[in-house]
Structure 1
Amino acid sequence: MLLTDTHTHLYYETEEEKQALLFQRCFENKIERLFLPNVDISSIAKIDDLVSKYPDNCFAMAGLHPCEVKEGYTEILAEIYESIADRKIYAIGEIGIDLYWDKSTLAIQQLAFLEQIKWAKALKLPIVIHCREAFDEVFEILEAEKGDELRGILHCFTGNLEQANKAIELGFYLGIGGVVTYKKAGLDEVLSHVPLEHLVLETDSPYLAPVPYRGKPNESSYLIHIAQKVADIYHIPVEKVAEVTTANSIKIFNV
């Protein structure tokens, strides 16, 4: 069995011993592919450090998180873009719009999102989208930019069936994380109407830990609990979930 965590901030842990244990627990649970979304300039070096330590397991992204889009963001975008030339990246992410924390920056979030979509198209890379309380705003831009070259993952999907279908129609996979294990989330009901072929798995560690670790720091090794919940929803073995979702991740990231 081979599981893929398509979205993990494992690089936030910089203490060597703790970091090594995080990876050890991943490997014990068959989570051997880890995709690392960028959030700002400072995370570039942290991601590169993990990639250098675990070149067969860690895969870098480049992008500016919408919550980091503030005054002066254009210079930060330029610096992130310049870093791409010297690194191997597999996606532009995580990018998007977040209206939960700050609605006042919507206009510049939209501009930053659009610019990074254009990077992805030019580089022929997928995008990994952060969308929080901004589904309409995100999809207005995706609709305008849609085409064969626009593809990727709607990270941390927690929406309804209509939103799921809209994302799929535009060529996106749904990133399913710890929320699927929460009883009142209702995500299990939505997924019962969505073929497994449209899903990938993620933890978004250290956030959104699945049951039985809800409320505690998340880690990529907990992906096994997310995979098992998805297996229960589809009434199939967890090995099949691993097979299909990892195959999907290979299609998206081309690795």
Structure 2
Amino acid sequence: MVLTDTHTHIYYERDTAKREQMMQRCLDNNISRLFLPNVDAASVPLVHEMVDAYPDQCFAMLGLHPCDVKPGWEQELDKIKAAWGQQKTYAIGEIGIDLYWDKTFLHGQVAAFEAQINWAKSVDLPIVIHCRDAFNEVFEVLERNKDSKLRGIFHCFTGNLEQAHRTIDLGFHLGIGGVVTYKNSGLDKVVEQIELQHIVLETDAPYLTPVPYRGKPNESAYLKYVAEKVALLHHTDIEQIAAVTTENSKRIFGI
């Protein structure tokens, strides 16, 4: 059985011994594929360091997180692009729109999002979308840029069933994480109605920790609890969930 965490910031842990323990817990739970998005230029070397240390388990993504899109974001993105070629990159992400903290720079977030979509298309890579309090704005950008090259993952999907189908129709998979285990999230009611071929699993560690560890720092080893919940919702076993979602991730990332 192979489980794939399509979105983890495991590189945030700077203690080498603790990181080794985290990775061992992953392997002990059959989580042997981890995809790492940076968030800004400063985090690119941290991702690359992790990939160098675990080349068979960790895979890099590159992008500028919407919360790091500030005036002058073009220069920050140029620094990230300069890292292209230093390490094999499997997606452009995480990118998107976040209006939870600040709505004043929406035009900048949209511009950065579209610039990175165009970058992804130019290098024929999927994108990994961050969306918080911005479904309409994200969908507007995606629909404006829709073509055969636009594809990827809607990271940390927490929308309703209509939004799920709209995401799938745009050529994206739903990234399902710890929120699906939360009692009142409503995401479980959506996931049980979505065919497994449209789903990938993720943790977003160290955030969004699943039950039974909610309230504590998340880690990729806890992906098994997400997989178990999805298995329960689809009346199957974790082995089937692992097989289908890992195969989905291989189609998306090409590895």
TM-score higher than 0.5 here?
A: yes
Letter in 2 for 1:252: I
Within 5 Å, give how 1:130-209 maps onto structure 2: 130-209=130-209
For 1:135 and 1:186, the matched residues in 2 are separated by 17
For residue 191 of structure 1, report the CA deviation from its aligned partner.
1.3
- 2:40 is aligned to 40
Residue 97 of structure 2 aligns to a residue whose secondary structure is: strand
- 2:50 is aligned to 50
For residue 85 of structure 1, report the CA deviation from its aligned partner.
2.9
- 1:83 is aligned to 83
2:44 corresponds to 1:65: no
Within 5 Å, give how 1:83-122 maps onto structure 2: 83-122=83-122
For residue 57 of structure 1, report the CA deviation from its aligned partner.
0.4
For residue 83 of structure 1, report the CA deviation from its aligned partner.
1.0
For 2:131 and 2:187, the matched residues in 1 are separated by 16
For 1:163 and 1:21, the matched residues in 2 are separated by 38
Give unmatched runs, 5+ long, in structure 1.
none
For 1:208 and 1:15, the matched residues in 2 are separated by 21
Letter in 1 for 2:185: A
For residue 207 of structure 1, report the CA deviation from its aligned partner.
0.1
For 1:159 and 1:65, the matched residues in 2 are separated by 20
For residue 87 of structure 1, report the CA deviation from its aligned partner.
2.1
- 1:2 is aligned to 2
For 1:221 and 1:18, the matched residues in 2 are separated by 13
For residue 192 of structure 1, report the CA deviation from its aligned partner.
1.7
Letter in 1 for 2:38: N
Aligned length: 255
Describe the superposition over 1:174-201 as per-residue Cα deviations: whole angstroms up to 9, x where unpaired: 0000000001001111112110110000
- 2:249 is aligned to 249
Retained in 1: the 8 A contact 2:192–2:230?
A: no
For 2:85 and 2:238, the matched residues in 1 are separated by 39
Residue 83 of structure 1 aligns to a residue whose secondary structure is: coil
Residue 61 of structure 1 aligns to a residue whose secondary structure is: strand
Letter in 1 for 2:211: V
Residue 97 of structure 1 aligns to a residue whose secondary structure is: strand
Q: For the aligned residues, what is the CA RMSD?
A: 0.5
TM-score, normalized by length of structure 2? Answer: 0.99
Describe the superposition over 1:203-225 as per-residue Cα deviations: whole angstroms up to 9, x where unpaired: 00000000000010000000000
Give unmatched runs, 5+ long, in structure 2.
none
TM-score, normalized by length of structure 1? Answer: 0.99
Residue 213 of structure 1 aligns to a residue whose secondary structure is: coil
Task: Please list every run of at least 4 consecutive aligned residues from structure 1 whose deviation after the TM superposition is greater than 6 angstroms.
Answer: none
For 1:139 and 1:82, the matched residues in 2 are separated by 29
